[in-house]
Amino acid sequence: MFTKILIANRGEIACRVIATAKKMGIRTVAVYSDADREARHVALADEAVHIGPAASRESYLSADKIIAAAKQTGAQAIHPGYGFLSENEQFARRVEEEGLVFIGPKHHSIAAMGDKIASKRLAREAKVNTIPGYNEAIETPESAVSIARDIGYPVMIKASAGGGGKGLRVAHDDKEAFEGFTSCRNEARNSFGDDRVFIEKFVEEPRHIEIQVLGDGHGNVIYLNERECSIQRRHQKVIEEAPSPFISDATRKAMGEQAVALAKAVQYQSAGTVEFVVGKDQSFYFLEMNTRLQVEHPVTECITGLDLVELMIRVAAGERLPLTQQDVQRNGWAIECRINAEDPFRNFLPSTGRLVRFQPPKTSMWASDTGHLFGVRVDTGVGEGGEIPMFYDSMIAKLIVHGRDRKDAIGKMREALNGFVIRGISSNVPFQAALLAHPDFVAGDFNTGFIAEHYAGGFRAEAVPHEDPDFLVALAAWANRRALQRSAGISGQMHGHEFKVGEDYVVVKLEAAGRHQQQAAKVSDFEAESGSSVVETNGRRYTICSHWHLGGARIRGTVDGKAFTAQVERGVGKNPLALRISHNGTRLDTMVLTPRTAELHALMPFKAPPDMSRFLLSPMPGLLVDVAVQPGQKVQAGERLAVIEAMKMENVLFAAADGVVGKVLASKGESLAVDQPIVEFE
């Protein structure tokens, strides 16, 4: 067994590998860029080596620097995590040539599965179901149209070297096939330096289901059940679960056996994933093989009770798999939500900056510890006060729950999301909570088009119906009454003029354009010690009890004897009196006033926000990589104005209307804040 390993990665996956290495008594070496000097993985590792500037190309993607760091520190093996160099065949080969061990598959297995066209041929030879299609590189758009007609619409046009949703188009007719081929080829050339494109049948109402496989260097390969990964946005997974609520035992067995056959065909050693697209009739077809550990591996760890990182390390050290196919368990139900630094209310644009507050829900399961299951686990690479940099992907954390069955797991996940406090940057927690509450998700009735179908117009807080909206109003009134108790208890008040707390309030629901609704609420039977009160509103009566204190972001307590977790935020926006209540994906912004104050507030004129239509504003924090206009230049609607880059994502800003550029207010290379003006029009 190794005594020291280097982790060629960052963030939560680096922390995850360190956790297992510590359990095994293996010392760890972290590598870090300029942007990650204070990162959590650097603090957790036994040693850390600086490998360059923030840009991935000059740090985490530099094979020379990583191998030099391993040799310098005496590490015997390198774990690549996922992303970066994890599926780079040249890197795996180079590690082996330098006398180090690559904790992952052999370079020839990565090469065989890394090319989508070649991997399809291999799959067919291994008698794995493949999608009908034309698996040779296509040269012209005319050929693409002809081939698409032969296969039958709809078809999927894919780049051979594609990934992460890039180089992929769905075509329903000749026009879409012609245009899709051209744009797909250009995107592939720009993103991967490889413009080969192929076409295959598009499976309707498809599910994305993957099989976890595990092989050793002695010819043994097993499968560890499946993961359901159909809840995706723009081809990026959002929620994963194991097992799938859709497939039958017979389908599971058939998919697993085919995945093992493919892994054996490429002499696969280590953990890997064979991805399938599954039709509504449970017909399944091979998509691709990911020759690395997957982001969503924790759900498999929960239902099998196995530590996949430990098994990867043991296999890399030459050990045999400690179990056979008959030993693989399927116990309970696990769900994972990816918590990303993105603003769901601004079309999921990246959100970078400092984590002013980062308070994950209470955990009872931990990475590398398979002795504690049926609880809540948080895998993360950040902590409170940490920075979410603009240079890497947007993941803040992975929230994993393990329940007795799917209903229990959904309930645990909703409660955990309610208690996940993130302040300072925006996160997709409200969107995840809304997905978990959607009746179709709860019923298990979904496919890869679920988010595009149900949230085609984007995501809005008011679009998430709460099962009991009066409870949110009651909770706002209760939180305000609890806060006022502190004012009433301040010492030194003038006798006869002490601050008196009343029972009658008006909850003003703050809405856009000054259209505020008012709802009366009465808070009685208040007990300062226990935090118990009776709140009456809209003909409903709630007994709320909690020890929440002013300044706490989370309210944990009971309502009518049932436990709940919600979040409260004071001073939202520019209104110091505003109180935001968040629960089950619904957000309610309020002001809680006395009846007389509410009367006067209703008479206040509405102050419209300033007209910013003359400005091009940055929709997200990021790096301004290009300004395409100059002062005095005439522009037409739809013309390219600027390009902003953040979290591996390029965002092109276009002119909304014809106009003339007055001033350029930001320069190329500048770091922009959200809503910062870039261009002013005359």
Please give the positions annotated as active site: 288
Residue type, 538: N
Q: How far apart are the first and last CA of the chain?
A: 69
* Residue whose C-alpha is closest to residue 439's, from 465, 416, 460: 465
- 279-283: Cβ within 8 A, 24+ apart: 279/203, 279/204, 279/205, 279/206, 279/207, 280/204, 280/205, 280/447, 282/246, 282/247, 282/248, 282/251, 283/129, 283/203
Q: What's the CA gap between 221 and 219, in Å, rounded?
A: 7
Rg (C-alpha) for the chain, rounded Å, is 27
Residue 264 CB contacts under 8 Å (≥ 6 apart), including other chains: 126, 215, 219, 221
**Kindly report the CA angle at 16 between 13 and 19, in degrees rounded to 5?**
155
**Kindly report the CA angle at 642 between 636 and 646, in degrees rounded to 5?**
145
Residue 515, SS3 per DSSP? coil
Phi/psi zone of residue 452: left (φ > 0), alpha (ψ -120 to 50 degrees), beta? alpha
CA 285 to chain centre: 26
Q: What's the CA gap between 1 and 158, in Å, rounded?
A: 42
Beta bridge partners of 275: 210, 288
Residue 349, SS3 per DSSP? strand
| 293 secondary structure, DSSP code | -
Biggest distance spanned by C-alpha atoms of the chain: 91
> Residue 223 corresponds to which tokens in the numbers above?
């499968």
CB crowding 628-662: b at 16 or more within 10 Å, else e: bbeeeeebeeeeebbbbbbbebebebebeeebebe
Cα–Cα separations (whole angstroms), residue 245 to 106, 331, 487:
34, 14, 52
Element (H, E) at 167: strand 166-171
CB atoms within 10 A of CB 65: 19
Q: What's the CA gap between 76 and 102, in Å, rounded?
A: 9
* Residue whose C-alpha is closest to residue 293's, from 314, 311, 267: 311
Residue 559, SS3 per DSSP? strand
With beta carbons less than 8 A apart as the criterion, state whether 504 and 595 touch.
yes
Burial grade of 477 (CB within 10 A; 0-12, 13-18, 19 or more): buried
CB atoms within 10 A of CB 238: 20
CA 432 to chain centre: 9
Beta bridge partners of 335: 241, 401
- Going through 33-163 in order, the beta strands assigned E by DSSP cover 47-50, 77-79, 101-102, 133-134, 155-163
* Residue whose C-alpha is closest to residue 473's, from 542, 397, 406, 561: 542
CA 5 to chain centre: 28
